[in-house]
Amino acid sequence: MKNLIRLLIILSTASCGRATPPPSTPAPDSATQAFRAAEVTIDTGAVTLAGTLLLPLNEPPAPAVIIIPGSGAATRNGSWNMYRRIGEYLVQRGIAVLLYDKRGVGGSSGDWKSETFDERAQDVAAIVEYLQSRAEIDPTRIGLIGHSQGAYIAPLVVADYSSDVRFVVLLAGSGEKVWNQILTNERAESIGNGLNEDEVDERVADLEGQLQFIQNVQAPCRFLKAHYLCFVLDYDPAPALQSLTVPTLALYAELDTQVPPDVNIPLVESALETAGNDDYTVHTFERANHWFAQAEIGTTTEMRELMQSRGGYQFVTGFLERIGDWIKLQVSIIE
């Protein structure tokens, strides 16, 4: 048992496929007063989630979206304020936006490192109910935007926990099992960072060995809360995607090393076809990375360097507009 604990502790500090995003950052000062921002708390029955509700100034009730964050210790604003920037764009087009901190992050209680995807989905379903209780929100026009790991969660919410979701937007949504996605990420990131074929194979094999170990000791790993992957490693998104019949927008980035479009689009499209979903749209942005910023290589390392050199986060051209235009069609807003 002592050796098991020691190995789990080592793994808990290891980089598993670089799947965890860069640290989230505080919200930027808004350069406009074209919306209202309210700090909110939501009691899910299991934890208390803290968030920010962005409300348009037009007459209520407004349609709304919940932005579901990705992996790791993600706050409501996202890495490099990605989610806040999406939210501020949408609210100025008449769509309310709920941004929230994951369990155990920011102002939320609980612990993201020991939550299952089902628990994440239950949290989102509770947020849907919360929005339905607010007079400013139209309870029949609520949708979900899931980014990265959050795109695993959005279809699961619709499949098992809420029948009140009007539409879903998947940003870099994987169709792979979590196990496979982590290995795909490691291979693509290693190639992007200039490793040769033998070095790439060695890194992927080493990581696969770590994942196999976690799977072999999953029960004690969960008990000790030694690694967050103990709780999500076996997840397969196919069943939830295969029951997703609400209007769906799936956006991908050509240079994404975490969710490569050539691997994932066929899986997602096949699942949606199985679901009988006759209202889905898939689009890939050229020369963009996992955060939908303009890129040349697409790796996380490059993104950090780009942020330092550019001094700010700029989405690839057309990214925000495509999301906004599509959502407005779903909720029948006329500008």
pLDDT in tens, 73-118: 999 999 889 999 999 999 999 999 999 999 999 999 999 999 999 9
Query: Is the entire prediction scored with pTM above 0.75?
Result: yes
pLDDT at residue 231, rounded to an integer: 84
Q: Could you please report the per-residue DSSP string of 40-69?
A: EEEE-SS-EEEEEEEEESSSSPEEEEEEEP
**Exposed / middle / buried, residue 30 (Cβ in 10 Å: 0-12, 13-18, 19+):** middle
Asked whether residue 185 carries a pLDDT value surpassing 70, the answer given is yes
* Residue whose structure tokens are 């089902």: 118
Give the tens place of pLDDT for each residue, 140-182: 999 999 999 999 999 999 999 999 999 999 999 999 999 999 9
Domain spans, the chain: 2-15+25-331
Q: Which band of pLDDT confidence, cut at 50, 70 and 90, is reported for residue 226?
A: low
Is the pLDDT reported for residue 3 higher than 50?
A: no
Q: Which CATH number fits domain 2-15+25-331: 3.90.1300.10, 3.40.720.10, 3.40.50.1820, 3.40.50.1100?
A: 3.40.50.1820
Task: Give the mean pLDDT of 275-299.
Answer: 96
